[in-house]
Each structure stands twice: as C-alpha cells, then as structure tokens.
Amino acid sequence: MYTLLDKKQLDEIHLATLNVLERVGVVIYDDESFRLMGEAGCEVDQATRIVKIPKKVIDATVDKTPHNLVLGAREKERDLLIERGRVSSRPGSGYTKVLDIETGQSRNATMKDTTASARLVDALDNISFCATHLIPSDVPVTMADVHAVRTCLENTTKHLFFSPLTYETFRTIVGMAQIVRGGQNEFVKRPLVSFLAATSTPLKIGQDCARQIIACARSKVPVMLDSSPMLGTTGPVTLAGSLVLQNVEDLAMNAIVQLSSPNSPVIYGTRCAPVDMRTGGLSWGSAETALLSAAGVQIAHYYGMPSDAVGPCTDSKTHDEQVGFEKTLCSLFPALAGSEIVSGAGTMESLVGSSLAQLVIDDELYGMMFRALRGMIVDDETLATDLIAQVGHDASYIKYPHTLRYYEKEHYQPRLFDKSPRGRWQSAGHARIEQVAKKKADTILSKHEVPPLDRDIRKQLDNIVRQLDAHL
C-alpha cells in the first residue's frame, strides 16, 4: 500500500479542516439544509447564509457514515461491493466533446456517442461500472442528463453513475432508476444508480446540490461528494491547502447527508487539480494530480469513508505518448493508495472531452493496474526451490507443468497492446494503438448485445422523458 501522508500529517490536515469549518464555515443556500445544520448545533447566520460547523457535528456525522456500500447493477452478478481492499473502476462522466472515432476530429457529443459509450463499457471487462460518460448535444440542453441516463439504462447491465444538471432532472433520473429496479424498496437494497454532488468551490454549497444530497439520503441513493478545488484559482496553490479545502467541503456535504438520514451511503470524492499558470488551463494529467488523488484517498480512509479518486487523466488532445505517461501515473498512485474506485476511463483534453477508442485503451490500462494491485504470492510453490533444483544448470523451464500451471495465474495477458516481434507487427499492418482500439470498438459495437429492458419499462421511461421535455 502506497502512503504519501504519515499519521502526523493526516492529523494536521484534520485539525486544519476543523479550524476552517468552525472559524470560516461554509455558505449553504438551501433552507432545509440550513435548518438541519442549525438544529444540530452549528452557528448559523441567516443574513450571510454562513454555517460554522463545530467538531461535535463533524464527529457525530462521520460516525454515522457507512464504511462500505453496494452499487447495484441491472444483473445481480454485476453488483459491486465497495469496501476497503477492493478496487473498482469507471469511466469519467459529464463530458461534452468527443474525438470522432472515424475522423479523429473533436466535435460535440451526440446521443449516438452516448449510446455507443454505454455499450462499450458494458462489454469491457476491466471497467467495473458505467457512467453518463458523454452528455449529448442533440437533445434539449435542459434535460441532456435525463436523455443520457435513459439510453445508458437500456444499453448497459452494469451499475450507472451520473452527473445531474438540476434538482428536477436528478429526481426524474432517480425515479427512472427505481422503475427499472422494480420500485423504491428494491432500489434501496440494490441501488441501480449513484451520482455526483458538486460544491461551488470555495466554501459554497448551492441550493440544487443541497437539495439533491438530502433527497439522495432519504432514498438511499449513493452519492459521491465532489469538491474540486483548482490549485491557484478556486483553491490554495499549495497541495496541502487545497486538500484542506476539499476536506472541508466534503465533510460539510456529508454532514447534511447524515443529518438528513443517518447511515446513508456516501463516497468521498478526491478531485483536486493544478492550474497551469502559463495558459490558465487545468492540468489534470500532472504529477500533482496523482499526488493529490493518493493523498485524498488517505484522507477518506482517515474518516473510514470509501473513496472515488480521479485516475487515468491526460491533458493531451490526441492518442500519443503523452496520454500513456499521464494516464499511467495518475491511475497508479490512487490505486496503490487503496482507492475503492479509480475513475476517468476514456477522458482526454483535461476532462473536456473523450474518445471511444480511449475507453478501449483505458480498459487495458485498468487490466494492468488490477494486476499490479494483486502483487505476488510467496509460498513453497511460487518460490519453486524444488523445481530450480530439478531443472539444474542447463535445462529450460518451459516444458515443466509448473510453468503451464502458473503462467496465466501470475502474468497478465494484454488483449489490446501489441507484444509481438517487429516483423510480425509489420506484416500485420504495423497499426498504432488507436487504430487497434478503433477496430476493437467497432467489433464490440457491431456484435455486442445488451439484454433489452422489458417493453413496459421502456414505455414508462419514454413517457417520463416526454413529460419532462414538455414541462421544461
């Protein structure tokens, strides 16, 4: 297990967090959340909407936070237990641009792209669950998230993570998921969807965000607490300072959740990234992002919360060497730190856009990541001392049963990356990785079948979408 912060440093971040919560507080714009915090013993100022949260409230709400949770899937065998020591993966969510798989040009995502990404994730073994990866531009903008969820529910049997646009679309999406699951009671047992609740950094919780997390608590919808300080702009430029700000906002949101309904499932989001002061743009594919993600995982575990750490990020705009370096670094640090979820498959261009080919490539990256996390077994069989003595000085190990028995157990077998000699690679067409990934994506999209939803359920979902469309 990789540890970036020692116990003393974690304690210092915790104490700094309590200092900010008690001395500065957070602005909460939602009346019900404001009332809950006041009734719990927080110092509230009606005029400024500032809520100062004492240590006793943080301690009490952290104590009420579950250490693990279940992310239910459409098919039960694809349910995920999110707990310490078990790492899952997902795509990034909420991107509006896509690198066209045919032309290689960046353009606005469409419903066709959103559907294709869901079907790809459904087929890719190393991406544990799905997300509204791409937000379509060819539907009404006020309910693009609803349309994205509607097509994802039909095109994957895995759990679905989504990014809501408003409180109203959030409620609609949860209602659709409850219909697919078979009602609210069944949903609570195996929640089919989870979502991202984002603060307005620094130190503000908007009305929609607060209403969403209260509603999710009462319906037991898992929520990923998303505070995303950008180092040097919406957060301190120092890594430790932005970790404190992120912690303040995540713990404040968790307080609202647990005061609304104790023991509600939450996931601690680690989402800090530096700003490149030369350009003013975010640098998600950076060494600092990797460090911040790993540290965020440790902070989440300090409070006994599961974490969702941003992983395979890149600032590159195309499939090049930069992608490989940045995504590998940003994935391995939080994974080795023990994050329960490593997210971001398919992302490109500093989380602005995505690529269906990159989804396929990142599936392979996750496969290698999972192999690295398994480590190695050291016992009498794997030490192989008897075999070493039997083979001696001149023979080869390839003919022995031990080699056959342990080769696939001990060695990850890439299905996308090329490992062949140069001559074979050249004679096969000397394809670049994005060409190989495009071919695999095309094959999946032409052949992979997702079990359809029941026709009555499809009708209900379509009616909900039509009614909301007319209303908005």
Residue 44 one-letter amino acid: V
Residue-wise pLDDT for 363-418, tens only, equals: 999 999 999 999 999 999 999 999 999 999 988 999 999 999 999 999 999 999 99
As a whole-number percent, the residues of the chain with pLDDT over 70 amount to 100
Helix (H) or strand (E) holding 380: helix 380-383
Q: What's the rounded Cα separation, in Å, for the pair 135 and 113?
A: 9
**Are the C-beta atoms of 178 and 221 separated by less than 8 Å?**
no
Classify residue 141 by burial, with Cβ atoms within 10 Å: 0-12, 13-18, 19+.
Answer: exposed
Can you read off the two tokens belonging to residue 353?
Answer: 């856009």
Q: What's the rounded Cα separation, in Å, for the pair 318 and 106?
A: 9
Q: Is the pLDDT confidence value at 189 over 90? A: yes
400: left (phi over 0), alpha (psi -120 to 50) or beta: beta
DSSP summary character for residue 235: B
DSSP summary character for residue 262: T
Looking up tokens 């949903």 gives: 187
Q: Is the pLDDT confidence value at 79 over 90? A: yes
Q: How confident is the model at residue 1 (pLDDT cuts 50, 70, 90)?
A: confident
Side by side, which strands form the sheet with 160-162?
88-91, 341-345, 307-310, 266-270, 223-226, 193-198, 160-162, 130-131
Query: Which residues on adjacent β-strands are paired with residue 269?
Result: 308
Helix (H) or strand (E) holding 327: helix 321-337
Number of Cβ within a 10 Å radius of residue 384:
16
- Residues listed for the chain: 472
Q: Is the dihedral of CA 240, 242, 248, 254 positive or negative?
A: negative
Q: Among residues 158, 70, 153, 81, which one has the least CA distance to residue 122?
A: 158
Segment 20-42 mean pLDDT: 98
The DSSP bridge pattern shows strands 266-270 and 223-226 to be parallel
- DSSP 3-state assignment of 467? helix
Given this model, what pLDDT does residue 287 score? Answer: 97
Angle between helical axes of 111-123 and 144-155 (0-180°, round to 10) = 40
Can you read off the two tokens belonging to residue 32?
Answer: 């019900």
Kindly provide the b/e burial profile for residues 110-138, where b requires at least 16 CB atoms within 10 angstroms of the residue's own CB: ebebbbbbbbbbbbbebbbbbbbbbbbbe
pTM over 0.85: yes
Given this model, what pLDDT does residue 394 score? Answer: 82
Q: Could you please report the per-residue DSSP string of 137-164?
A: SSS-GGGHHHHHHHHHHHH-SS-EEE--
* C-alpha torsion angle, residues 355, 452, 124, 116 (rounded to 10): -10
Given this model, what pLDDT does residue 395 score? Answer: 85
Segment 423-435 mean pLDDT: 93
DSSP summary character for residue 433: H
Residue-wise pLDDT for 171-186, tens only, equals: 999 999 999 999 999 9
- Distances 50 to 26, 53, 244 between C-alpha atoms, Å: 5, 10, 18
Instruction: Spell out the CATH class of 69-232+261-374.
Output: alpha beta
Q: Where are the domains of the chain?
A: 69-232+261-374, 380-410
Q: How confident is the model at residue 469 (pLDDT cuts 50, 70, 90)?
A: confident
Given this model, what pLDDT does residue 472 score? Answer: 76
Q: What's the rounded Cα separation, in Å, for the pair 57 and 254?
A: 11
**Are the C-beta atoms of 330 and 312 separated by less than 8 Å?**
yes
Q: Is the pLDDT confidence value at 30 over 80? A: yes
Q: What's the rounded Cα separation, in Å, for the pair 191 and 181?
A: 8
Q: Could you please report the per-residue DSSP string of 345-376?
A: ETEETTTTEE-HHHHHHHHHHHHHHHHHHH--
- Residues whose CB falls within 8 Å of the CB of residue 423, separated by 6 or more in sequence, listed in order: none
Alpha helices in 156-274 (DSSP H): 167-181, 184-189, 207-219, 239-260
Helix (H) or strand (E) holding 126: none
**Average pLDDT for the chain:** 96
Q: Among residues 312, 291, 418, which one has the least CA distance to residue 5?
A: 291
Given this model, what pLDDT does residue 464 score? Answer: 96
Segment 59-64 mean pLDDT: 98
Residue-wise pLDDT for 432-466, tens only, equals: 999 999 999 999 999 999 999 999 999 999 999 99
- DSSP 3-state assignment of 183? coil
Q: Among residues 52, 57, 59, 58, which one has the least CA distance to residue 21?
A: 52
